[in-house]
Chains A and B, each alone.
Chain A
Amino acid sequence: NAGVTQTPKFRVLKTGQSMTLLCAQDMNHEYMYWYRQDPGMGLRLIHYSVGEGTTAKGEVPDGYNVSRLKKQNFLLGLESAAPSQTSVYFCASRHGQGIGETQYFGPGTRLLVL
């Protein structure tokens, strides 16, 4: 039981390049989230999904796209990377919306955009 895994762990991009971050969970969770973490800013929600085939915008969605074709996977895409997207990206999942339900986080992907 791996929980939440993220691929890759670290990536360096040049401005304008594209890439996809993969998040996978094996807990059969309905809800999945993508956050970015920057110093002094805490975690900010980029996009989220409440089930297979659904996606919704979070607090900072500009410059990112997501897809949830399979329940266990949630992909985050950067079509044209910018230095402002240098950050640590975390994926999380949880079973439902019940009060107190835990979010389980992946180990993060460190992205550097030059």
Chain B
Amino acid sequence: TQLLEQSPQFLSIQEGENLTVYCNSSSVFSSLQWYRQEPGEGPVLLVTVVTGGEVKKLKRLTFQFGDARKDSSLHITAAQPGDTGLYLCAGVYNQFYFGTGTSLTVIP
């Protein structure tokens, strides 16, 4: 059972462009995490959002948790080649439920 759907699945953009990745579910989570994974490595935690409506900023990355704690978004401003990777959201409810992933490529 895939509880979390991410969109888009693939994204290829030019350096300097902005983008938004979405993570949607019909389930309510106690918190939601975003990870970035580079080829050949394990995921690395970027942020945890806990409160419905919460917005967190990490340099050029902005994370938002939906009011109902069922969905989240990740917005990247002025993307750079170093942002390339697989972005995964994970809903937390007793255990972790990972999304399907968004593969981002930023072209120099």
Contacts and interface: CB of A to CB of B under 8 A. Distances in A.
Contacts of B44: 105
Identify the 9 closest CB pairs spanning chains A and B, nearest first: A105-B42, A43-B98, A42-B98, A100-B48, A42-B100, A102-B45, A42-B101, A99-B31, A42-B99
Given A45-B96, A59-B1, A108-B40, 17 more contacts: A4-B42, A40-B100, A42-B2, A42-B99, A42-B101, A43-B90, A43-B96, A48-B95, A90-B43, A99-B30, A100-B31, A100-B50, A103-B45, A103-B96, A105-B41, A105-B42, A107-B40
B79 interface: no
Contacts of A108: 40-42
Contacts of A2: none
B48 A99 contact: yes
Given A33-B96, A48-B95, A40 B101 contact: yes
Contacts of B96: 33, 43, 45, 103
Nearest to A40: B100
Contacts of A59: 1, 97
B106 interface: no
Interface of B: 1-2, 4, 6, 9, 30-31, 33, 40-45, 48, 50, 88, 90, 92, 95-101
Contacts of A58: 95
Q: How large is the interface on A (under 10, 10 to 19, 20 to 34, 35 or more residues)?
A: 20 to 34
Interface of A: 4, 33, 35, 40-45, 48, 58-59, 90, 92, 99-100, 102-103, 105-108
A42 B96 CA distance: 12
18 contacts: A4-B42, A33-B96, A35-B98, A43-B43, A43-B90, A43-B96, A45-B95, A45-B97, A48-B95, A58-B95, A59-B1, A92-B42, A103-B43, A105-B41, A107-B40, A107-B41, A108-B41, A108-B42
Given A42-B98, A42-B101, A44-B98, A99 B45 contact: no
